[in-house]
Structure 1
Amino acid sequence: MKLTIIGTGYVGLVTGACFSEMGSHVTCVDIDKEKIDNLKKGILPIYEPGLESIVLNNYKEGTLNFTTSLAQAAKDCNVFFIAVGTPPGQDGSADLQYVLQVARQIGSVIEDYAVIVDKSTVPVGTADKVRAQVSKELEARGAAIEFDVVSNPEFLKEGAAVNDFLKPDRIIVGADSHRAAKLMRRLYAPFSRNRDKMLFMNVKDAEMTKYAANSMLATKISFMNEIANLCERLGVDVENVRKGIGSDSRIGYSFIYPGCGYGGSCFPKDVKALVKTAKDAGFVPTLLDAVEERNNLQKQVLGNKVINRFGQDLTGRTFGIWGLAFKPGTDDMREASSRVLIKALLDAGARVNVYDPVAMDQARKEIPAQEQEKICFAQDQYSALDTADACILVTEWKAFRQPDFKKMASLMKERVIFDGRNQYDPDEIKEAGFEYHGIGRELG
């Protein structure tokens, strides 16, 4: 089967590479010539474990290609995947300009029946807008070409996206025609050999499913963070509470880890978009509003803890920050808690040393130049602690799980650890001679 993927960002590149790995002939299209040229050289625009080898191998085999020309990619194409960005607007709504622009371009180049798939996360009703744009272009061409628009949302975790795509727990397809559904079943057959993982529904149902899933996970995180804040005030260890409620099979252990807030390209954006959709429909999303508010407040918790411990004026203080990406396994710093923490410390007069195993280059691109003047980008996790008044764990990379406390003590000015992910055992930290501050664990 011949596929065209429009957009070579996180979703598009993973989708294209994994389909080519299963034998489809895939062409990835992007208007960014530099990005396409780099991909042909084996230089990927994102960090994702396992992705590079799949891209390189399939490009070498000729099953995965890259181009800036949609017209070239469209020849004899069966399926077009729209995988371009839908950034949040000022009001929180998903910006569909790139999706609709691609829809018009597809309408100008298709030659025969095709299925057009919305892979980007888009609000309910987007498929109708895509269909209208394609039809408008076909009418302008005087071309009577049949097509279907399908919603096939992605459920990829950054840091585990390749495995999620190759071994999905479910494949959601929103299709309003039997012909499109049949083609999508054939396309995904290699991913459902041990059991049928495909769930077919109406297009709008599939569009809503993506937003509901991400918002549900964000809700679990914000709920647990709220409980952590309450535990802290009551002298309760939230980690014991987490284990207690997680043992209930109706709740489970996933997404109930207290921390310093969620980030990334999905949860913040999707919660905002669903809130906007609800309000546009005349519905007050009380719970979702609270989820977003709690997360925004939670990102301030670490900075507040540091200021409560060291004072409002941090002039002359230095803090070593471990982790910049919003989660382990990625270099993505979008909506990362580290951004809020760094700004709070700098605004209070401090200097910061930062280290992340993967996201250092991305940090240099995204952190404003005026902030970088007071930031030292360390060579490793320990040099980030040189003369530091405290170590602040923000991203729970594996490299940070078993640190050398003796080495840390020899480098740091004061032996203080702020654990933004509750990664460490407070008793172990104290036995090593450090003062410990966690999330929901201020037990004295």
Structure 2
Amino acid sequence: MVSSPSNFHPREMWRESAVDEFLSCFPRDLTADVRVTCHVAHSRISRSYIRGLIVSIEFEIRSTKWAAYFLQIVHDARLQKRISLRSAISVKWAICAHVQGESYARQEQQKRLDVTLQRKMTEYRVALQCVAGTSVVKYGRKGKPHATALCVENGDTLRWTSKLLAKATHSVVDGVAATTTMGKKRVKAKNAIPLASIVKVTSGTGTSVLARALQKGTLILGDAKCTLSVVTETRTLDLKAKNAEEREWLQRSLEFLVELARDHERRVAQQVELTIMKRMETLSVWKHGRKVEEGQRTPVFARSRAAGRVSPVKASHCFSLVTTLRSLDIQAVNEQQRDWFVVAFRYLLDKVHEKTAAMQRERAERQLRMLQELYREEEDDNYLTGDGDDMYYDEGPPVRRS
């Protein structure tokens, strides 16, 4: 029975609309499965092509952690006749396609990293040129100004010329006597600040040194826009540039150098920790447990020596990680390995203590801010009335005295 055109056309229209609706809801950003797109027409030609493809991308295959292993699995399965030749060719082609995709992604990422590195190197050179040799006015702790020159030493330390020079000549910068290094300079540690230790670089008279200078009259209010301060955890370096524009690019250059120094210090610390962890994984040691324990200074080592598990001659090969509850007692292969472990663990423990102290300091600062905000809210709302004595004294019965 043949359907009439009147019955056929609406049904086909309904089917087309349903397909269109399905396709409109289907995501468009999905890539095609390479196992489906690989169609083996001629087995012999395809096998030769795959063999040549594997040889041509051998370096990319070995640069991955999985491709060579997967190709070996497919090869073994083909030798055991667990898969057909066409399936083996299709899977190998899929593996090669994924390897080429990863290689292309790595190349693109490396290009982006190279562009970023070139831009950072250009910005780094510009920042060094902006900071090095810049003549500014430095304000001391008492608010007294003197001219000085800035420089960046070894790319990680901000240094400025000192007033105390063995042989120096004096010049005048903005009406302030300056000392220039015409002779041998008496280098002092206080005349340098590590860039990684700088907390922030601020503009204006927000520090106590510049506020004291304003109070004494050594800094006029009109020059406040030309001032900036390099703030660390323990001190501040308060400077005044020639104008607001010089202060602006000097501040930007210092902020860039500080960020770069912090990133470098963080990368070095991560690399050191990674190197320590990798070497610890490769070194074999003897661990003396709590049941069979040895020792020199800990009870674990004492019991191990009494049981004959360790000789007193190898005491220089042993070390212990001691806590308040227990100890981890380890015997290395030799004294050199023991020394390396001790240095490595002390480094890691120092890092942990620094992070713990930073977290405690941050928690204390946060609690202090919360208390200050609560105090302000209480003052604004006039929550407390009177002299507040009723908060501390209750109306209980008088104390009986004998």
Task: Tell me the TM-score range normalised by the shorter chain.
Answer: under 0.3
User: TM-score by structure 2 length?
Assistant: 0.16
Larger Rg computed on CA atoms:
2
Higher relative contact order (CA 8 A, sep 6+): 1
User: TM-score by structure 1 length?
Assistant: 0.15
Please state which structure has a larger fraction of its residues in helix. 2
